[in-house]
Structure 1
Amino acid sequence: MKGRLYHRFLSAASLVHIFLVPFISAGSILLEEGTVISFDDASQTPKVLRNTSILITDDRIAAIFDSSNPSGVPIPSDIEGVSVQAAIFDSSNTSGVSIPTDTERVSVRGKIISPGFIDTHKHGWQTAYKTIASNTTLAEYVVRYGEFSQAETVFTSEDIYLGQLVGIYEALNAGVTSILEHAHSTFSREKASASLNASMDGGVRMWWCYTFHDISNGFSVEDQIENFKELKKDERLEESTVEVGIAYDGFSTAAKEEVQSVMDLAKISNISALTTHYLGGPWFFANSPKLLHDLDFLNTSFPIVFSHSSFITPEDASLLRQTNQYISTTPESKMHSGQDHPTTPFIQDQAALGVDTHFTYSADIVTQARLWLQSTRLEFFRQTLNRWRIPRNSPMSVNQAFLLATRAGGLALRRPDVGVIQVGAKADIVVFDGSSPNMLGWVDPVAAVILHSNVGDVEHVLVNGEWRKKDRQLVLKDGLNMTRDEVEEKFLESAKRIQEVWMQTPLPELEGEFQPGVPYADADVEDVVRGIGTGY
């Protein structure tokens, strides 16, 4: 983008709670009389609070209280790591909670209040590819669309900025309030800056992980390390919901000197997270927990998230549990692109959900949770049926799917104050319209969200206590020097140019071997039309 266009335009939840901080009248929002999906630390399950109100002060949840309790006395409670001070009570208020006089009151009666959803694996810059790779496989993606394709020369800084920004808007529209971004559009200083600027301008909570990779344009890993250090000094990050981390896939393939330099950088840079792709099995991509353990780099002070982990081993799983590191399972991408995920259901206690690249997949984490829930159920049902037995129970519950989409993401990033609705948690909140035709008649709000909701039911979204979607309309971050229409117009121009380049680029010929000893092969093809069929 030319000039300044992409520069900044810019623990237990009880029925009644009070966040013990001084109330500041500015920035208070009261969500009144809704059904809240909170979290119970004792049972480690979602806790449903009906006819409940939530007071938001600044960036945190200040109080959760029973709207109908005429003599409710707030019960002090906080989550781990959040400091508290003296409470302020107002006996004239029927709830016993002091509500600042200029609080914005929003009725959520009949609606479902959920924690914001967390996407722990994303490549937002690829938004411009949307719909041109609807039948692509992972093998084709790697050489045609990924970070080592012609993308590094075709995408301009403006393209990176617009794709990242519009991708964030798609996520926010669906109620995704937190993203772990594997930012592998770091093709140059300008393009890395464009990605980070868009992330700050988008208004989402993000762990933006700078990718170090050996690309062909002369921008070396050494150059990237210096660029990373420069970007991390950006003063705007101090007031932003964006934190900087590292993405690196070279643990198993790069020279030892490069691997060591990245690990050393991670240890001294106070990063928010590190993420790496790990598939295993016939895919190799062996940036496994075992490998990082052997490098003495698994038991770290910062979270490490292993994306996909399709063929994770028992040893890997044991190491994750010992070091409290997580995987990000991406259900739709693993089914769509041929990765598969035969062993990941066995490590769900150290797992969260991700989208991958939403030029092909839905940015809606609820959809990912639903796909994961039903595919996991099918896999374990099938094991029983294949023994000629009839299952008497369900292998996985909607509560577990909901936790994967919310709290597990926060735990993966070692942030117990995101992905939950508890006193002291960050005010990242989604409100679903419970009266929509597809949700009408719900009793269990968790089941309603996981099994019956769609993006159209997301009525309100708050991130860090600020509106990002209100009354089903996106709310752009203050300071953005473009309207939504202008953003969309510029993005469409960018996407059209990019898509035309790929439309004119021949498909790769996948012959021989993908990796030594792992040949390509044709999958059986099914058709819904008899005879010659529809093909592709």
Structure 2
Amino acid sequence: MRTSHYLPFLAAPLLAEASSILFNGGTIVAFNRNKNALEVIRDGSLLINDDRIVSVSAGAPSASLLRKDTEVVDAKGKIITPGFIDTHKHGWQTSFKTLASNTSLLEYFSRYGEFAAAGLLTAEDVYIGQLAGIYEALHGGVTTILDHAHHAWSNQTAEAGLLASVDSGARIFWAYAFHNIPSTPPYLVPEQLAHFRALAGNTTLLRSSPTSLGVAYDAWDPAASTATERQAVVALATSLNVSVVTTHTVLGPWGLTNTPSALLAAGILNTSIPVVLSHGSFLSPTDAQLLRTVNQYVSVTPESEFHYGHSNPTSHRFLDQAALGVDTHFTYSGDILSQARLWLQTARLRLYEAVLERWELPVNNPMSATQAFLLATRNGGLALRREDLGVIAVGAKADVVVWDGDAPALLGWNDPVAAVILHASVGDVESVVVDGKWRKRDFKIVVGDGKGKGGYEAVKKRFVESARRVQKKLIETKSPVPVKGDVWPYSGYLVGEAETVDVLRGEGTGYGTTFLKA
């Protein structure tokens, strides 16, 4: 039994499921480590024993690897890929869904961000929102998530998100956000550091779970924190050898620095711990090269950066040190497939335009579907310094996705990578395995009773009840939002207005409104 302030809200225990699965006859998008490249195996077999892939072959696996409990699955006509990796997400925000369809980043900070939401959600709201958000990701083929857990407004809300991550069965790098919350009484970084150490010292909390503990911190700039605080965060991360350190990096006029240079000066960028910088908007060539030198990564979140307006004008220049993330899934897509497709076409457009601006015609396509696939899978593993994630190869973790090759969007496919990246939808994800266990099967999320029934229905009911409460509070709360002419305190730049478009004739007729009710 886990010791926690939050035990009354724990979901049903994870199941003791079949520990060996053999997929026969499918088309497998594997990874050839010798060639450092994808390799497609048609009519192949993929054998999972416990939490590892033990055989990937064109024929039957060695009989010596098969076990009495091996479950044989007919995968003929299916496409089998590694699970997608989301390197930046805030799972707890699920209950905000559709409230911010037209929001900007300035409005987000004022109404929906970590400080604005403090005191709005209970531990129960955090738990069920986190759980529902992870199930949404699993449904779309995401098997690994780096969660920037800035729902740490109290010991109870922090634990709620962690325990939901554990209970989901997904592979979660849960990064506890250290931030000074001006609540009554205040919830400050020293108390949070002590709480984190207590969580890390709980030997039963993460036992047999693919969830691990990381650190999130957004005050690496000397102007944003004291040296004592930064040193305490670094000391905690290094002494406990956490699974990841992550931070928001939004430069340019936004002034949310956390540059690679600042992290290097703090003593965290060049350790053995993976560091993931979210967004990397307006990153300089010097800092991009520093990331290459220390082999640390940026999480590009295309839909977020376009939706909110913080942009990412230089990210296509350092994709060798980049992976993909979703960010605030309550405002748009919650899956990595959408991010890969959006970013692929964005990078293509930017590099095409460079040719057209020279009054020349581009003869080649500047970015391939294979590169987008690798960004969504293996690069996520590399960002987390986990060679065993984001690939189908012997010895890799058993995180795989089975795609319905007969789905309407995929009929007639030949290239399985192009089929997934350019034609599939999340509705074509038939099954998902994480750590060798079914998490979605035959198009149904597996939870609770292990049959895709009942358990998820109970989660949905509980989540909707929570979401209605939270949404009512948010709609009725009139948080002030910056207006044109204000000065943005993080950078000193003025707040301006974007030109709006109109899809109907007549001035000001087409923007419309949102359709919310309290």
TM-score by length of structure 1 reads 0.90
Per the TM alignment, residue 43 of structure 1 is displaced from its structure 2 partner at its CA by 3.7
CA distance in 2, matches of 1:385, 1:508: 43
How far apart are 1:484 and its partner, in Å?
1.6
The one-letter code sitting in structure 1 at the alignment partner of 2:461 is E
Residues 66 and 418 (structure 1), Cα distance of their counterparts in 2 relative to 1, 3 Å cut: same
Query: Which residue of 112, 129, 137 corresponds with 2:79?
Result: 112
Which residue in the other structure is 1:353 paired with? 324
Q: Deviations over 1:181-209 (max 9, x none)?
A: 10000000111111111000011001101
Structure 2 residue aligned with 1:514: 488
Aligned to 1:210: 176
Whether the 8 Å contact between 1:203 and 1:477 is mirrored in structure 2 is no
Matched, 1:407 2:378: yes
- Residues 185 and 3 (structure 1), Cα distance of their counterparts in 2 relative to 1, 3 Å cut: closer
Match for residue 214 of structure 2?
245
Q: Secondary structure at the match of 1:55?
A: strand
Letter in structure 2 aligned against 1:528: V
Give the whole-Å Cα distance in 2 for the aligned partners of 1:401 and 1:198: 30
Q: Are residue 524 (structure 1) and residue 492 (structure 2) matched?
A: no
In structure 2, relative to structure 1, the CA distance for the partners of 1:98 and 1:239 (3 Å cut) is closer
1:290 Cα deviation from its structure 2 partner: 1.1
Q: CA deviation at 1:99?
A: 2.4
**Amino acid across the alignment from 1:103:** T
Task: From 198, 221, 232, give the equivalent of 2:189.
Answer: 221
Q: How does 1:126-145 map to 2 (within 5 A)?
A: 126-145=93-112
Q: CA deviation at 1:489?
A: 1.0
2:473 pairs, out of 490, 494, 501, with 501
Unaligned runs of at least 5 residues, structure 1: 11-24, 75-88, 91-96
Residue 200 (structure 2) aligned to one of 218, 232, 235: 232
Shift of 1:441: 0.7
Q: Is the 8 A contact 1:310 1:343 kept in 2?
A: yes
1:189 is the counterpart of 2:155: yes
| Cα drift, residue 28 of structure 1 | 1.2
Alpha-carbon distance in 2 for matches of 1:283, 1:432: 40
Question: 2:366 matched to which residue of 1?
Answer: 395
Distance 2:235 2:20 in 1: 43
Aligned to 1:167: 133
For 1:236-274, what per-residue CA distance to the aligned partner results, in whole angstroms no more than 9, with x for missing partners?
A: 313111100100001111122111111111111120000
Q: Aligned to 1:301, which of 272, 275, 280?
A: 272
Match of 1:287 in 2: 258
| Superposed CA offset, 1:393-430 (max 9, x none) | 01100000000000000010011001000011110000
Matched, 1:370 2:341: yes
Q: How far off its partner does 1:348 sit?
A: 0.4
- 1:514 counterpart letter in structure 2: W
- Structure 1 partner of 2:51: 59
Query: SS where residue 363 of structure 2 aligns?
Result: coil
CA 1:344–1:324 in 2, change beyond 3 Å: closer, same or farther?
same
Measure how far apart 1:504 and its partner are. Answer: 1.6
Write the distance in 1 (CA, Å) between the matches of 2:8 and 2:466: 14
Contact 2:446-2:456 within 8 A present in 1 as well: no
Using the alignment, how far apart are the partners of 1:321 and 1:502 within structure 2?
42
Give, in whole Å, the separation in 1 of the partners of 2:152 and 2:18.
39
SS at match of 1:238: coil
Equivalent residue of 2:354, what SS?
helix
1:9 and 2:12 aligned: yes
AA matched with 1:290:
S
8 Å CA contact 2:448–2:455 kept in 1: the answer is no
1:273 to 2:265 alignment: no
**182 and 352 in structure 1: CA distance in 2 versus 1, 3 angstrom threshold:** same
Match of 1:15 in 2: none
Distance 2:267 2:23 in 1: 47
Q: Kindly provide the CA deviation profile for residues 421-452 of structure 1, in whole angstroms up to 9, marking residues without a partner as x.
A: 00111100000011111110111000000000
In structure 2, C-alpha distance between the alignment counterparts of 1:343 and 1:111, rounded to whole Å? 37
- Looking at structure 1, the residues matched to 362 and 398 of structure 2 have their Cα atoms a distance apart, in angstroms, of 41
Tell which deviates more after alignment, 282-291 or 34-43: 34-43
Three-state SS of the structure 1 residue aligned to 2:281 is: coil
- Please list, as runs of the form range in 1=range in 2, the aligned pairs for 1:415-494 lying within 5 A after superposition: 415-476=386-447, 483-494=455-466
Structure 2, gaps ≥5 residues long: 514-518
For residues 480 and 350 of structure 2, what CA distance do their matches in structure 1 show?
33
- Is the Cα–Cα contact under 8 Å of residues 468 and 477 in structure 1 kept in the other structure? no
- Corresponding letter in the other structure for 1:7: L
Report if aligned partners of 2:215, 2:242 keep a CA contact under 8 Å in 1: yes
Alignment match, 2:510: 534
* Matched residue SS, 2:206: helix
Q: Is residue 6–residue 197 contact of structure 1 (8 Å, CA) maintained in 2? A: no
Question: What is the identity, as a one-letter code, of the residue corresponding to 2:500?
Answer: V
How many equivalent pairs are there? 496
Shift in CA distance, 482/60, structure 1 to aligned 2, threshold 3 Å: same
Q: Normalising by structure 2, report the TM-score.
A: 0.93
Q: Is the 8 A contact 1:119 1:179 kept in 2?
A: yes
1:198 aligns with 2:169: no
Q: Deviation of residue 2 (structure 1)?
A: 9.6
Q: Residue 244 of structure 1 aligns to a residue in which SS? A: strand
**What secondary structure is seen at the aligned counterpart in 2 of 1:152?**
coil
Match of 1:20 in 2: none
State the SS of the aligned residue for 2:136. helix
Cα 1:474–1:426 shift into 2, 3 Å? same
Distance (Å, rounded) in 2 between the aligned partners of 1:119 and 1:110: 27
1:100 Cα deviation (Å)? Answer: 2.2
> For the Cα contact (< 8 Å) 2:6–2:159, is it kept in 1?
no
Deviation at 1:27, TM superposition (A): 1.5
SS of alignment partner, residue 312 of structure 2: coil
Look up the SS of the partner of 1:519 in the other structure.
Answer: coil
Residue 507 of structure 1: how far off its partner (Å): 5.4
**Amino acid in the other structure paired with 1:140:** E
Match of 1:21 in 2: none
The runs of 4+ residues in structure 1 deviating greater than 6 Å are 478-482
